[in-house]
């Protein structure tokens, strides 16, 4: 049985745990700094097992010893940006949290594959790589699966077709600089550039880029968690079941797409070993230029770090 740890038992973490156990991907440890909270949520989830019919275990804890032997660790611990807080303040607070979490991962789960979810994503994944000192193939950021799902949702809605038949591709950073690729976004194999006019595509691209903020504006007191937790679960499944799916994710580039030593969202093959291959797409000049802008934004973020 695989062992999966989810750090941070908040909205994203707890919902991811629910999805992971309902799919029986492995036994799950849910850990948080708040005393009693992960234990309570784990017990509540276990009590749904007879109804949902899953045979895996969920455990809640405040003690990192319990993550020992984890195959995969998902980091959702952190705080959300509060009114009046600058982006730099958020980077400082969350990088301290992610660093502390990573010290424990290094100590107790040195063989694990780490999926980072805490925002700002590309920067926090960089922090996790430095702090764990793991091979980059084992430190991955969750961004592209979520961004592509949002793009696919909007395309399906626009065309009035099933979202299952839409295959969307979004590269780059997870934020304002993300790069949705209409040319490589298809409906049952047909590029959307053949199905919609430019104006419609631009509108859907903008909505995708603004996808996280649109939810924050509606929720007012938090950020998205249903689609993020679904994206996490897809990545965890591909790893623990060695599915070798080709999914967009934030990975450490070493020469690919002309970049060295930064995390950027690109398609990768995810399997038992983590990132088993980085897929290099043939980009047009304007697509590559957008990716460059995205890389610049990520580099700028990393330059503010004190690690
Ligand atoms: N160790 C473990 N857990 C921690 C730590 C820590 N050092 N610091 C904070 N946490 C926990 C909090 O106690 C809280 O339960 O992380 C959890 C975060 O949960 P929420 O506040 O509900 O936030 P959530 O919506 O789940 O988002 C988590 O994912 O998508 C990103 O931008 C989002 O960075 C945010 C993260």
Nearest to 113 by CA among 74, 142, 63: 74
In this structure, are 99 and 199 located in the same domain?
A: no
* Dist CA 154 CA 233 (whole Å): 21
Same domain assignment for residues 130 and 152: no
Q: Is the CB of 34 under 6 A from ligand 1?
A: yes
pLDDT of residue 81 exceeding 90, the answer is no
Residue nearest to atom 10 of ligand 1 (CA): 77
Q: Which domain holds residue 259?
A: 144-303
Q: Is the CB of 40 under 6 A from ligand 1?
A: no
What digits encode the pLDDT tens for the residues 110-128? 999 999 999 999 999 999 9
> Rounded distance, CA 256 to CA 282, Å?
11
What are the tens digits of pLDDT across the range 179-230?
Answer: 999 999 999 999 999 999 999 999 999 999 999 999 999 998 989 999 999 9
Using the mean position of ligand 1's atoms as its centre, give its distance from the Cα of residue 155 in Å.
Answer: 30
Is the same domain home to 73 and 201? no
Quote the pTM value.
0.97
- Note if 254 is an active site residue: no
- C-alpha 79 to ligand 1 mean position (Å): 5
195 and 114 co-located in one domain: no
Separation of alpha carbons 249 and 205, rounded Å: 18
CATH no. for residue 222? 3.90.110.10
- Same domain, yes or no, for 71 and 206? no
**Residue 148 has what pLDDT?**
98
CA of 136 to the centre of ligand 1 (A): 23
Q: Indicate whether 53 and 133 sit together in one domain.
A: yes
Are 59 and 198 members of one domain? no
**Catalytic residue chosen out of the listed positions 126, 135, 174, 254:** 174
Same domain, 88 and 153: no
Q: What's 94's domain CATH number?
A: 3.40.50.720
Q: Residues 136, 199: one domain?
A: no
225 and 117 in a common domain: no
Same domain flag for 18 and 85: yes
Number of domains in the chain: 2
* 118 and 250 inside one domain: no
Query: Which range is least confidently modeled, 79-93, 153-167, 210-224?
Result: 79-93
Comparing 29-33, 145-149, 211-215, the range with the smallest average pLDDT is: 211-215
């Amino acid at each position: 049985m695989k062992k999966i740890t989810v750090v941070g038992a908040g909205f994203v973490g707890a919902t991811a745990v629910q999805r992971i156990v309902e799919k029986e991907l492995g036994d799950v440890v849910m850990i948080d700094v708040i005393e009693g909270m992960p234990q309570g949520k784990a017990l509540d989830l276990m009590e749904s097992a007879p109804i949902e019919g899953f045979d895996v275990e969920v455990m809640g804890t405040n003690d990192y010893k319990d993550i020992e032997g984890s195959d995969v660790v998902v980091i959702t611990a952190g705080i959300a940006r509060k009114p009046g807080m600058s982006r730099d303040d958020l980077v400082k607070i969350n990088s301290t949290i992610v660093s502390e979490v990573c010290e424990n991962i290094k100590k107790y789960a040195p063989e694990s594959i780490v999926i980072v979810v805490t925002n700002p994503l590309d920067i926090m994944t960089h922090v996790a790589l430095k702090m764990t000192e793991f091979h980059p193939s084992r430190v991955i950021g969750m961004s592209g699966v979520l961004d592509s799902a949002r793009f696919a949702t909007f395309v399906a809605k626009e065309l009035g077709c099933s979202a299952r038949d839409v295959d969307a591709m979004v590269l780059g950073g997870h934020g304002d600089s993300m790069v949705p690729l209409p040319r490589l976004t298809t409906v049952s194999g047909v590029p959307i550039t053949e199905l919609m006019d430019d104006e419609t595509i631009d509108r859907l691209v903008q909505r995708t880029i603004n996808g996280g903020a649109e939810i924050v504006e509606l929720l007012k007191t938090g950020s998205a968690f249903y689609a993020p937790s679904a994206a996490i679960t897809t990545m965890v499944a591909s790893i623990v079941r060695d599915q070798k799916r080709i999914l967009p994710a934030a990975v450490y580039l070493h020469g690919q797409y002309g970049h060295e030593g930064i995390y950027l969202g690109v398609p990768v093959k995810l399997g038992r070993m983590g990132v088993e291959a980085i897929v290099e797409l043939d980009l047009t000049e304007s697509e590559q230029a957008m990716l460059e802008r995205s890389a610049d934004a990520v580099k700028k973020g990393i330059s503010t770090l004190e690690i």
